[in-house]
Amino acid sequence: MTTATKEETLGFQTEVKQLLNLMIHSLYSNREIFLRELISNAADACDKLRYAALDDDALFEGDSELRVEIEHDSEAGTVTVRDNGIGMNRDDVIANLGTIAKSGTAEFLQQMSGEQQKDANLIGQFGVGFYSSFIVADEVTVRTRKAGANAAEGVEWRSKGEGEFSIAEVERERHGTEIVLQLKDDAKEYADDFRLQGLVRKYSDHIEVPVRMPKTETAKDDEGNAIEGSEVTTWETINEATALWVRPKSEVTEDEYKAFYKHVSHDFSDPLTWSHNKVEGKLEYTSLLFVPGRAPFDLYERDGARGVKLYVQRVFIMDDAEQFLPLYLRFVKGVLDTRDLSLNVSREILQQDPQVEKIKSALTKRSLDMLKKLAKDTEAYQTFWNTFGSVLKEGPGEDASNREKIAGLLRFSSTHADSATQDQSLADYVERMKDGQQKIYYIVADGFNAAKSSPHLEIFRKKGIEVLLLSDRIDEWLMSHLTEFDGKSLTDVAKGELDLGDVEDADEKKAQEETAKDKEDLVKRVKEALSDGVQEVKITHRLTDSPACVVLPENEMGFQMRRIMEAAGQPMPEVKPILELNPGHALVARLESADDATFGDLAHILLDQAIIAEGGHLDDPAAYVKRLNGVLTA
């Protein structure tokens, strides 16, 4: 019998209280996942002890056969899950069972709604599987001792999930952790051999650590009759207990891959796709990589936990080994098992090992190939892109060696579909290019509607030339690194000189030159009126409906990026735009015939309107309104 001493009652972290309330009252349809989560945590604890024991074999305490055990008591209505893994001390228990020790907690809880399926998925994303115990249990008791600690340093944690928990010191001979669930009246079905074995095989068959349950057998005489009082209890391994990634692909079912993904990711939803690969030769490793179907809550935290589970010759080394995939592929989950690293490898050693860079390069290509294959399924890839597209856009700036591959995976909105959905690839664009067109044209704006309505698109619509419509915050940064695709340069239609290549014939170009020459006096007057407000004034042929537009120099930072930098507190140098006038517009004709008293006001109005149309901000909006009112009432 375990005797508790120095018992102390503590309150849950506020976020845990909210989480428990939602889980206890909202997730009845997903109740059976509690066992999968407890087994996964127990298996992780065994993996961690195996790794720690590489440096100190004494941590096994003479019990190196790592395992997970499940027992039940139908009369008492309890289920017990125990392991002989690494175990926890008092500080570990409080940190792991009394708090949610991850950043972004508040954001996570704000997303929870009380809708069963949605919240189950969020909980899976967040990795708080232990708390799922309270879906089926009125009370949960955890008894644990850290491997290598004295028997007197055991800890007992107890809670009914109602806002507080008690913690006490206990005498515990065995290292590892034991979790006892006092089942709710409507969850007594789980105190049953057949039910528990079915759940183990359904969710945890792939776990390498054996999951065992007691089996009572009665001895029989020579005639096959049971011998009274000869009952013997043995432990039966319920799961296959073989590392799934070392099995041949042909022997692994789709359901097994999906179940294994949920184990390594603590996600409740199925992956979109996966890639299972074994490499032999100079490098020897096996990888099993998954693309999730939904984003984790901390996807945009670039410093958050990420990476694959690392094994060396099937010995667990570490979670979240981020050294093997680039940051722009941080959504990829999975396992890497290699022979080319030492068993006592650390994160610091990984940063210096030349083999790591070779494996990283290979896994990066494998991941990109996996996405390329997924892209053949338009609907599935659109799901991926809507979820992870903004992260993948970081790739061209971070991985020059794979820039072309990444570019082929990017998706954009465009004037071809005239829809906000980002579903057009660069390859699609190139295939649709007009005869004589040598460039891929795009425009960057604060939103899809702003991009679609930009005056800069007028000549392109007239000529039937497609333009990519970019409105994500990262797009301008992306395009500063993605300057070419399939031998075609990418050109911002709002910067520099307009060049439509051979789409325009010689007669059109000659007519444009003649018009520009005829309007030289007008251009000079406008430049004088605007003084230092513009870098240059020109006659343009890029407009058909608007009177004027502003253009930035070829290598100048765009309006969108400037605002992002300024919002981040970065001082930006002043930039003077180029004002281009549409000689065929009525307002420009009025400007040309205006007297000196109104000419300056009209010129300023055209400039300010052009800046507003580009999503820019006026330095003096009141002056613009005053000039406009003056012209309207003249």
Q: Tell me, yes or no, whether 402 lies in a domain.
A: no
Give pLDDT, residue 264: 85
pLDDT bucket at 205, cuts 50 / 70 / 90: confident
- Do 172 and 252 lie in one domain? The reply is no
Q: What is the pLDDT of residues 541-557, one digit of tens each?
A: 999 999 999 998 887 77
Q: Please determine, for residue 268, whether its predicted confidence score (pLDDT) is greater than 60.
A: yes
- Do 453 and 319 lie in one domain? The reply is no
Give pLDDT, residue 111: 53
More confident residue, 422 or 298: 422
- Do 469 and 560 lie in one domain? The reply is no
Strands 315-321 vs 413-414: parallel, antiparallel or unpaired: unpaired
Give the count of domains, the chain: 4
Q: Tell me, yes or no, whether 403 lies in a domain.
A: no
Give pLDDT, residue 123: 44
Q: Could you tell me the CATH number of the domain that includes residue 32?
A: 3.30.565.10
Range from 24-28, 301-305, 477-481 carrying the lowest mean pLDDT: 24-28
Q: Tell me, yes or no, whether 577 lies in a domain.
A: yes
- Do 316 and 206 lie in one domain? The reply is no
Q: What is the pLDDT of residues 462-510, one digit of tens each?
A: 999 999 999 998 999 999 999 999 999 999 999 888 888 777 777 878 8
Rounded to 5°, the CA angle 466-469-475 comes to 130
Give pLDDT, residue 106: 47
Q: Tell me, yes or no, whether 176 lies in a domain.
A: yes
Judge whether 572 and 557 are in contact, CB under 8 Å.
Answer: yes
- Do 152 and 14 lie in one domain? The reply is yes
Judge whether 455 and 543 are in contact, CB under 8 Å.
Answer: yes
Beta bridge partners of 73: 78
Q: Could you tell me the CATH number of the domain that includes residue 534?
A: 1.20.120.790
Q: Please determine, for residue 120, whether its predicted confidence score (pLDDT) is greater than 60.
A: no
pLDDT bucket at 182, cuts 50 / 70 / 90: very high
Q: Please determine, for residue 445, whether its predicted confidence score (pLDDT) is greater than 70.
A: yes
- Do 78 and 26 lie in one domain? The reply is yes
Q: What is the pLDDT of residues 330-356, one digit of tens each?
A: 999 999 999 888 766 776 677 777 889
Q: Could you tell me the CATH number of the domain that includes residue 439?
A: 3.40.50.11260
Beta bridge partners of 285: 279, 338
pTM of the entire structure?
0.74
- Do 181 and 96 lie in one domain? The reply is yes
For residue 619, what are its two tokens?
């330095």
DSSP result, 171-201: --SS-EEEEEEEE-GGGGGGSSHHHHHHHHH
Give pLDDT, residue 102: 43
Q: Tell me, yes or no, whether 406 lies in a domain.
A: no
Q: Tell me, yes or no, whether 396 lies in a domain.
A: no
Element (H, E) at 227: strand 226-237
- Do 357 and 479 lie in one domain? The reply is no
Q: Tell me, yes or no, whether 90 lies in a domain.
A: yes
Domain that holds residue 291: 244-387
Q: Please determine, for residue 104, whether its predicted confidence score (pLDDT) is greater than 50.
A: no
- Do 488 and 532 lie in one domain? The reply is no
Percentage above 90 pLDDT, the chain: 53
DSSP result, 62-115: T-----EEEEEETTTTEEEEEE-SS---HHHHHHHHSS--STTHHHHHHH--S-
- Do 317 and 442 lie in one domain? The reply is no
